[in-house]
């Protein structure tokens, strides 16, 4: 294939259209590395967790019964979302670093309100007993 290059242990595909699947054969086994890499077995099937469910790939020549009631046709893939997320269908999950950063930043906002503005920290209300006025939202 003219748009596939292999050099120094790296295989690069110049362009892969959305939903397109290519099967590449190599003389020796490859090791899948990286967040977006997927290890595929000798039968051409692979599975990976994407945070909110599983991605199931069938690059083989026969239909694959990946899970009870879930059959993946040859040359295709299926997404199985975690229970309760079937309607929402989130494709990714925030990394642990992002989640930690969000928690720390939200905690800093609360700490600033308590320490510098003197607002009491009441767990069953916003930050105080005061009524929060929004102002004119037309100017936002």
In sequence order, what DSSP letters do the residues of 98-140 get, joined into one string?
HHHHHHHHHHHHHHHHHHHH-----TTSSSSSSPPP---GGG-
Q: Which one is predicted more confidently, 65 or 19?
A: 65
pLDDT-derived band at 12 (thresholds 50, 70, 90) equals confident
Tell whether 39 and 65 lie within a shared domain. yes
Quote the domain boundaries for residue 116: 96-130
Query: In whole angstroms, what is the distance from residue 55 CA to residue 85 CA?
Result: 14
Tell whether 76 and 18 lie within a shared domain. yes
pTM summary value: 0.57
Q: Each residue of 41-99: pLDDT tens digit?
A: 889 999 998 888 899 999 999 999 998 889 999 989 999 999 999 898 888 778 889 99
- In a domain, residue 112? The reply is yes
Is the pLDDT reported for residue 129 higher than 60?
no
- In a domain, residue 7? The reply is no
Tell whether 76 and 121 lie within a shared domain. no
Is the pLDDT reported for residue 21 higher than 60?
yes
Q: What is the largest CA-CA distance in the chain?
A: 71
Query: In whole angstroms, what is the distance from residue 39 CA to residue 30 CA?
Result: 9
């Amino acid at each position: 294939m003219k748009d596939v290059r292999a050099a120094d242990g790296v295989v690069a595909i110049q362009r892969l259209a959305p939903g397109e699947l290519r099967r590449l054969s190599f003389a020796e086994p490859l090791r899948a590395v990286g967040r977006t890499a997927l290890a595929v077995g000798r039968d051409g099937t692979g599975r990976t967790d994407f945070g909110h469910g599983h991605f199931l790939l069938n690059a083989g020549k026969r239909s694959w019964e990946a899970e009870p009631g879930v059959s993946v046709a040859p040359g295709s893939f299926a997404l199985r979302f975690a229970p309760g997320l079937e309607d929402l269908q989130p494709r990714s999950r925030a990394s642990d670093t992002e989640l930690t950063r969000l928690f720390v930043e939200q905690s800093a906002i609360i700490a600033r309100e308590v320490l510098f503005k003197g607002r009491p920290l009441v767990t069953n209300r916003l930050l105080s007993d005061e009524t929060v006025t929004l102002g004119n939202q037309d100017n936002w």
